[in-house]
Amino acid sequence: MSNPSAKISDKWTLFFGSGLLALAVTWFFAYQGIHGHDHRPALSVLVGCLFWVSILIGMLMLTMITRVFDAGWAPIIRRSWEFMIGGLPVVLILGVLPLVFVPSLRHIVWHWTDASSLLPNGHTVGHDPILQAKSWFLNEKFFLARVALYIVFFAVITWALRHWSFLQDRERSASHTHRLHAISAAGIPLTAVLLTLLAFDCLMALTYHWFSTMYGVWFFALSIRLALAVTVILTYVLSRGGWLDGILNQAHRHVLGCLMLAFTVFWAYISFSQYFIIYSANIPEETFWYNIRELNPITGMKSDWWGVSLYLIFGFFFLPFLCLLFYRTKIIAGRLLTIAWVILVGGIFDLWFNAVPRQIVDKTAPEGFVVSPFLSGFLWLDLLAILGFGGIVLGLFLRSSAKAETIPVHDPRILESIHYHE
Amino acid sequence: MTERNERIYGVACTFRKVSDVYHAAEKVRDAGWKKWDVHTPFPIHGMDQAMGLPRSKVPRLTLLGGVTGFITGCLLTWYMNSYDYPLIVGGKPLWSPIYPFPVMYECTILFAAFGTFFGQFILNGLPRHHHPVFDLPQFARTSDDSFMIVLEATDEKFHLDESRNFLLSLGGQEITVIRD
């Protein structure tokens, strides 16, 4: 192993340890929330976990897609994705798994799992005909089984993609490339189905009366956007004294910038279409989801979630979209880096927008409920959870980097990738 | 011969190898030529840089078309649904930026495509049915196995004998004067 990477990989315990510490603090508050029957600190764990799950699922998809299409530019960057995706099952095990498998946490986060939970209309969840109609999917046994399946599947697919790719460093055989091609071809549709179900279970089912068939596609678009943003930042750092120093060139930035532009447009297309279809049909069983993200049900005025919505339109779509239209944004490292941070921050807002607002039963309110606000003391806990899971992911990334060559030196397309030009 | 046929369009020479034409192009660029061209049977990677060509201006026309289309979509929906014949459909406002968004969006794409297509047409000087280099018998081979550099007479640096010798010094063969 070359010297710089050995030095970097020694630091993995630092990242991993501080990540665990930050996560422990988040979990402490989440457990405190159980006693006060407050679901919000547990949502911090969920938001922090899903932020990194979406990044890693995005990288998993990019790894498989570039394999299937034999992308000539990809190998030097794909190895970093392979180092990263090893953290995917770990993040799920430290975040979603306890939230779902500890009954008291499950009941306050996913209130459809608690039959005694009250609804704004005065009924309990146990007597809710809407839930009964959905119970073939939304029942606790199937829910637990699905979550277990996500973890097992992502553990297996990430292991397979890493194992044979790393083995190629030693065995120098093109047959591993063919094998990984086949694994990826099977893995893409399976991952697509499971990430859709994961988005349904972990986010859409937080408001279980609501439904959107585009939700999985939205989560996929968000995942790829965040994965590309992290890739741009990561490869930039690695090109400044890390293992991509002297290897990463303008054409690699250009291709990442083009993909960022494409998926910025795709995310906007999906997010807007979901809104537009619901807005056009104007059916109360669908529109309430957007109403609680716009209006304060007591005053009827715009709530702070309205501000978040506008931020998503202008800060998470128009700003990166208009900047990325220009060629120079895509090739000048500083500009592309800035846009990557804009997308990363916007992604946190998008997760907040999707995960946090919910109807909280309040009999004194005119419509029987209030909406959890955006601005609250828990925002710092969300950020702490993101940092905590981030430390764990980066720690595992550095640890993985000692297990194989930091670029796939015996990949058949390695020269094409190093000498990639526009 | 008529007066028109006496006008000189430029000087051409051919090359047999990609590396030869590539390095010759670099030397023409470094000599400061602006009005000249390279003809090859297939795209040569890096030829843009070797020729010192700037990036295409077509994307600016695409953006211009897109912005025009977006504004057209806004005005179209506002004029038709809110001004000329006000009509409430599906309980939506007479005009808002949301319900007619598909129209605005489609107009953006349509006009951006127009900007791109007609933009490249204009910037490429199309339509054009004849070009002086077509008169050269050896030009046909630039779509098969030969490469050609043409220095145009409209360039400030052009001088018939010097330009001939310049091409000769680059290793060009079959140096020919093209008449307009």
The pLDDT, as a whole number, for residue B2 is: 43
Q: Cβ contacts (< 8 Å) between A325 and chain B: which residues?
A: 59, 63
Length of chain A: 422
Question: What is the DSSP pairing of strand B147-152 with strand B173-179?
Answer: unpaired
What are the Cα distances from residue A263, in Å, to A53, A318, A343, B86? 18, 13, 11, 37
Task: Provide the residue-wise pLDDT of chain B in tens; the chain has 180 residues.
Answer: 444 446 888 899 999 989 999 999 998 999 888 889 999 999 998 898 899 988 889 999 999 999 999 999 999 999 999 999 999 988 899 999 999 999 999 999 999 999 999 999 999 888 888 888 888 888 888 999 899 999 888 888 888 888 888 888 888 888 888 887
Contact partners, residue A44, CB within 8 Å, separation at least 6: A26, A29, A30, A378, A381, A382, A384, A385
Write the DSSP assignment of A325-346 as a string of letters. TSHHHHHSHHHHHHHHHHHHHH
Q: Angle at which helices A250-281 and A284-291 pack, to 10 degrees?
A: 130
Which of A270, A322, A422 is the best residue to mutate to test the B interface, defined by the most B CB atoms within 10 Å of its own CB? A422
CB of B59 less than 8 A from some CB of A: yes
- A266 to chain B nearest CA, in Å? 13
The pLDDT, as a whole number, for residue A9 is: 60
Longest dimension (CA), chain B: 78
Query: ∠ at Cα A261 (A408, A318), nearest 5°?
Result: 145
A272 with B101: Cβ contact below 8 A: yes
CB of B93 less than 8 A from some CB of A: no
- A422 to chain B nearest CA, in Å? 9
What is this model's ipTM? 0.82
pTM of the model: 0.91
- What is the b/e burial string over A282-313, where b = at least 16 CB atoms within 10 angstroms of the residue's CB? eeeebebbbbbbbbbbeeeeebebeebbebbe
pLDDT one-digit tens code per residue, B68-81: 999 999 999 999 99
The pLDDT, as a whole number, for residue A219 is: 97
Burial class (CB in 10 A: 0-12, 13-18, 19+), B112: buried
Which of B49, B98, B103, B108 is the best residue to mutate to test the A interface, defined by the most A CB atoms within 10 Å of its own CB? B98
CB of B129 less than 8 A from some CB of A: no
- B63 to chain A nearest CA, in Å? 9
- The amino acid sitting at A363 is K
The pLDDT, as a whole number, for residue A363 is: 86
What's phi and psi for A222, nearest 5 deg?
Answer: -60, -45
The pLDDT, as a whole number, for residue A8 is: 61
CB of B97 less than 8 A from some CB of A: no
Q: How many A/B residue pairs have CB atoms within 8 Å?
A: 16
CB-CB contact of B47 with B25 (8 Å): yes
Task: Provide the residue-wise pLDDT of chain A in tens; the chain has 422 residues.
Answer: 444 555 666 788 999 999 999 999 999 999 999 888 889 999 999 999 999 999 999 999 999 999 999 999 999 999 999 999 999 999 999 999 999 999 999 999 999 999 898 888 888 999 999 999 999 999 999 999 999 999 999 999 999 999 999 999 999 889 999 999 999 999 999 999 999 999 999 999 999 999 999 999 999 999 999 999 999 999 999 999 889 999 999 999 999 999 999 999 999 999 999 999 999 999 999 999 999 999 998 888 999 999 999 999 999 999 999 999 999 999 999 999 999 999 999 999 999 999 999 999 888 888 889 999 999 989 999 999 999 999 999 999 999 999 899 999 999 999 999 999 87
Chain A residue with CA closest to B98: the answer is A276
A327 with B55: Cβ contact below 8 A: yes
The pLDDT, as a whole number, for residue A166 is: 95
Chain B residue with CA closest to A275: the answer is B98
- B123 to chain A nearest CA, in Å? 19
Q: Cβ contacts (< 8 Å) between B50 and chain A: which residues?
A: none
- A270 to chain B nearest CA, in Å? 13
Chain B residue with CA closest to A281: the answer is B90
What are the Cα distances from residue A64, in Å, to A90, A164, A192, A199, B17? 20, 13, 11, 20, 39
